[in-house]
Amino acid sequence: MNSIEVRNLRVSYDGKKYVVDDLNFEVKEGEIFGFLGPNGAGKTTTIRVLTTLIRPTGGTVNVLGMDVTKYGLEIRKKIGVILQQPSYEWNLTVENNMLIYGTLWNIPRIEVKKKMEELISKFDLGEIRKTMAADISIGQRRRLQLVRELMHDSKLLFLDEPTIGLDPIARRSLLTYFKSLAKEGTTVFFTTHNLEEADFLCDRVGIINHGKLYAVDSIDNLKASYEGERTIEVMVDKDPIKLVERLKQKMDGGVVDPSTSLDHPIKIVTNKVPETMEIINDYIRQEASSLLWLNVKKTELEDVFFKVVGEHHNE
């Protein structure tokens, strides 16, 4: 059974340009689905449709078996949504934030308290449970925002960059918790710019850019589809932008990272490593440059994402 079914989804805010254009995908019940793309790709707009905040311009979208244009209230009762924007009561303590949120969902008081104690322990909020939300750190506020939404049991959980502001330990604890929810049957729709998180957490991912979905598959299958590719990382001490332009001109296939700086290696995904290395060597000789860093590695999810987005960068 599918928790989400999207067919030919289109969204336009001005009636002229589609910010989401003909999306087709489904998310299975109990699956963790990663929705990946650069800023402005259409991720947030898609989530707004799926959570019934905006209506689609065209196509059909069913969430938990219900049409989002007809059963918005019923859908909202069964989903949880954790967005990037802060959502908590500044003038309430941590535990009162959690208690009031459980009450709003009409959860019996005894169950609210039991769930609250479980989450306070799980996310290490015990020392600040009596502290006002206004007086805790940014990372602690983020944890509070997360646990509030977890107070009620959702059949479908939407997570928009949920780990922003969390330290590595809290981040891993949260991701492991989401995995446990999926094992119990909760479906998770997850967006992130951290590809290591997606690799760790997701069963399948979809990669969107310029409003179009260019890849949907399991992480293993996506990596396998680029099995012949390798990722070259290179740094030179003179004018890396010029090297990027040289690579774009002379490479036969492959993708070069368009966002290059002196502080980060140039990234190249290609199945022609020797030919690409020769271009780099020629540039170093001709420009009297020095090689500062060179690494050739197997293509991982981050590189697959980069390749898919890079291939459609100018569309």
**240 and 194, same structural domain?**
no
Is the sign of the CA dihedral 270, 274, 277, 283 positive or negative? negative
Q: How far is CA 8 from the centre of its chain?
A: 22
> Tell me, what's the pLDDT at 261?
62
- The C-alpha R_g of the chain, in whole angstroms, comes to 23
Task: Report CA-CA distances (Å) from 166 to 65, 152, 211, 293, 297.
Answer: 34, 22, 29, 31, 29
**141 and 125, same structural domain?**
yes
What pLDDT, in 10s, does the model give residues 176-187?
A: 888 998 999 999
Q: Are 171 and 13 in contact (CB under 8 A)?
A: no
Task: For residue 130, give the DSSP letter.
Answer: T
Q: Given the structure tokens 């290395």, which residue do they identify?
A: 277
User: Hey, which residues does 10 pair with through a beta bridge?
Assistant: 21, 58
* Domain assignment of residue 311, yes or no: no
Q: How far is CA 310 from the centre of its chain?
A: 17
**266 and 159, same structural domain?**
no
**238 and 99, same structural domain?**
no
Q: Are 142 and 167 in contact (CB under 8 A)?
A: no
Helix (H, G, I), strand (E, B) or coil at 170: helix
Question: What CATH number has the domain bearing residue 166?
Answer: 3.40.50.300
* Domain assignment of residue 258, yes or no: yes
Helix (H, G, I), strand (E, B) or coil at 280: helix
**117 and 93, same structural domain?**
yes
> What is the extent of the structural domain holding 133?
2-220
* End position of a domain, from candidates 220, 248, 280: 220
**169 and 136, same structural domain?**
yes
Q: Given the structure tokens 């244009």, which residue do they identify?
A: 69
Q: What is the pLDDT along the chain (315 residues), one digit of tens a residue?
A: 899 999 999 999 998 899 999 999 999 999 999 999 988 899 999 999 999 999 999 999 999 999 999 999 999 989 988 877 667 788 899 999 999 888 888 888 899 899 999 999 988 899 999 999 989 988 888 888 888 888 887 899 998 888 887 888 888 888 888 899 899 999 999 998 888 899 999 999 999 999 999 999 998 888 887 777 888 989 888 888 888 889 988 888 778 876 666 678 888 888 888 999 999 999 998 988 888 889 988 878 888 887 788 776 555
Q: Which of 229, 233, 255 is nearest to 310 (CA)?
A: 255
* Domain assignment of residue 289, yes or no: yes
* Domain assignment of residue 235, yes or no: yes
* Domain assignment of residue 307, yes or no: no
**172 and 133, same structural domain?**
yes
Q: What is the pTM of this model?
A: 0.80
Where would I find the beta strands (DSSP E) of 121-252? 156-160, 187-191, 204-209, 212-218, 230-236
Look at the chain and report how many structural domains it folds into.
2
**237 and 253, same structural domain?**
yes
Helix (H, G, I), strand (E, B) or coil at 281: helix
* Domain assignment of residue 58, yes or no: yes
**281 and 186, same structural domain?**
no
Helix (H, G, I), strand (E, B) or coil at 64: coil
Question: What CATH number has the domain bearing residue 259?
Answer: 3.30.70.120
* Domain assignment of residue 79, yes or no: yes
> Tell me, what's the pLDDT at 137?
86
Cα–Cα distance for residue pair 49/266, rounded to 1 Å = 37
Task: For residue 93, give the DSSP letter.
Answer: B
Q: Are 307 and 269 in contact (CB under 8 A)?
A: yes
Count CA atoms closer than 13 A to 312's CA, side-chain side. 16
Q: Which of 225, 182, 226 is nearest to 200 (CA)?
A: 182
> Tell me, what's the pLDDT at 238?
83
> Tell me, what's the pLDDT at 260?
60
Q: Given the structure tokens 């959690």, which residue do they identify?
A: 98
Report the interhelical angle of 138-149 vs 94-104 (nearest 10°).
Answer: 20
**69 and 164, same structural domain?**
yes
**191 and 88, same structural domain?**
yes
> Tell me, what's the pLDDT at 251?
87
Cα–Cα distance for residue pair 58/50, rounded to 1 Å = 13
Cα–Cα distance for residue pair 294/276, rounded to 1 Å = 12
* End position of a domain, from candidates 173, 203, 220: 220
> Tell me, what's the pLDDT at 230?
85
**292 and 190, same structural domain?**
no
* Domain assignment of residue 312, yes or no: no
Query: How are strands ordered across the β-sheet holding 66-67?
Result: 18-28, 2-12, 58-63, 66-67
